């Protein structure tokens, strides 16, 4: 179970942004010709996958890299010229962690505390990445998967980033089809319920999950049935996600438009 946290909100009146002693460093107009203030920008991605672990049930895991200076850290690195942040995130996942495919990648937030990293001032633009559970692990170099509830000490503020990513993921599972990026292309509902359970941290009933997701048009039956498991039981119908693109499926919990 993930505790919800409000993200990046600076609330309630800082009255008088009088920027005492703060040098703006530029004239107040023509934004596009100023070139004095540059800063190091890095991307960091929290990549999640629901994976088998020592326990009976699969668990939500995060991909970490061992970094000799600062311990375990999220994969990522600085951006280069003429590259979007998303492209940089993908590039670093390839080079740093051997990950060649993520089914979904989205911006999380920017972490900009001046002291978040010692030495050079570094702003981190962070991402969430999701890998379907049937994609092989392919851990490369010094990368490794960890249960989200059994993380080692992480470098800098990377633990905050992972926590925020988990909250976001849990939230979106409830009102979007984001699980398409965690699930295999075809699956029995009981397996999908386990994926939801792993990501949310509490058990999800497969019966009701089917009802909710099919009413919303998120999953559709493929018509095929799977093999029955090791200990007998009725062979399960196989389902698939209708989209492979993030969609809001329950837009308004309240205050929906009239008619």
3 lines the binding site for a copy of itself (CB under 8 A): no
What gap in Å lies between CA 126 and CA 109, rounded to an integer? 5
185 binds, among DNA, a copy of itself, none (CB under 5 to 8 A by kind): none
Pick from 80, 136, 233, 234 the residue near a copy of itself by CB under 8 A. Answer: 80
Which of residues 86 and 226 has its CB atom nearest to a copy of itself in the complex? 86
Site for a copy of itself in 168-187 (CB under 8 A): 171, 173-175, 181
Distance (Å, whole) CA 256 – CA 81: 43
For DNA, the closer CB: 24 or 174:
174
| Partner interacting with residue 207 (select from DNA, a copy of itself, none; CB below 5-8 Å by kind) | DNA
Interface residue with a copy of itself, options 56, 119, 227, 233 (CB under 8 A): 119
Count residues contacting DNA (CB under 7 A)? 31
Query: Binding pattern to DNA, positions 206-235, x when CB under 7 A?
Result: xxx-xxx--xx--------x--xx-xxxxx
Instruction: Please identify which residue in 76, 132, 188, 197 interacts with DNA, judged by CB under 7 A.
Output: 188
Indicate which of a copy of itself, DNA, none lies near residue 168 (CB less than 5 to 8 Å, by partner kind).
none
Helix axes 189-200, 206-215, angle to 10 degrees: 100
Q: What are the distances in angstroms from CA 201 to CA 2, 101, 167? A: 7, 25, 11
- Contact between 53 and 61 (Cβ < 8 Å): yes
Per partner kind, with CB cut-offs from 5 to 8 A, the member of a copy of itself, DNA, none near residue 188 is DNA
Q: Are 237 and 225 in contact (CB under 8 A)?
A: yes
Residues with Cβ within 8 Å of 157's Cβ and at least 6 positions away in sequence, in order, are: 111, 113, 116, 124
If binding is defined by CB under 7 A, does position 56 make contact with DNA?
Answer: no
When asked if residue 223 is in the footprint of a copy of itself (CB under 8 A), the reply is: no
| Tokens found for residue 99 | 């990950």
Look at the block and give the residue holding tokens 């010094």.
Answer: 142
Burial 82-108 (b: 16+ CB within 10 A, else e): eeebeebbbbbbeebbebeebbbbbeb
Angle at 45 between CA 96 and CA 59, to 5 degrees: 95
Stretch that binds DNA, among 49-57, 94-102, 149-157, 186-194 (CB under 7 A): 186-194
| Binding residue (CB under 8 A) for a copy of itself from 53, 58, 107, 163 | 107
Residues that bind DNA (CB under 7 A): 188-191, 205-208, 210-212, 215-216, 225, 228-229, 231-237, 250, 252-256, 258-259
């Amino acid at each position: 179970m993930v505790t919800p946290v409000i993200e990046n909100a600076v609330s309630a009146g800082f009255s008088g942004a009088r920027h005492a002693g703060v040098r703006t460093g530029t004239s107040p107009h023509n934004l596009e010709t100023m070139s004095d203030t540059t800063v190091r920008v890095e991307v960091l991605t929290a990549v999640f996958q629901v994976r088998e672990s020592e326990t009976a049930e699969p668990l939500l895991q995060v991909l970490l890299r061992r970094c000799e200076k600062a311990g375990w850290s999220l994969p990522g690195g600085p951006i280069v010229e003429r590259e979007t942040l998303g492209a940089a995130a993908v590039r670093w996942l390839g080079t740093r962690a051997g990950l060649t495919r993520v089914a979904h990648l989205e911006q999380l937030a920017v972490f900009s505390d001046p002291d978040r990293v010692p030495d050079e001032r570094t702003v981190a633009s962070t991402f969430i990445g999701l890998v379907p559970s049937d994609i092989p692990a392919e851990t490369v170099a010094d990368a490794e998967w960890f249960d989200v509830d059994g993380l080692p000490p992480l470098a800098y503020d990377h633990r905050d980033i992972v926590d925020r990513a988990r909250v976001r993921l849990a939230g979106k599972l409830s009102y979007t089809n984001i699980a398409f990026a965690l699930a295999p292309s075809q699956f029995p509902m009981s397996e999908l319920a386990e994926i939801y359970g792993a990501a949310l941290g509490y058990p999800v009933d497969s019966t009701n999950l089917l009802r909710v997701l099919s009413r919303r048009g998120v999953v559709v039956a493929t018509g095929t049935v799977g093999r029955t498991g090791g200990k007998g039981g009725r062979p399960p119908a196989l389902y698939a996600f209708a989209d492979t693109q993030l969609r809001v499926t329950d837009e308004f919990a309240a205050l929906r438009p009239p008619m």
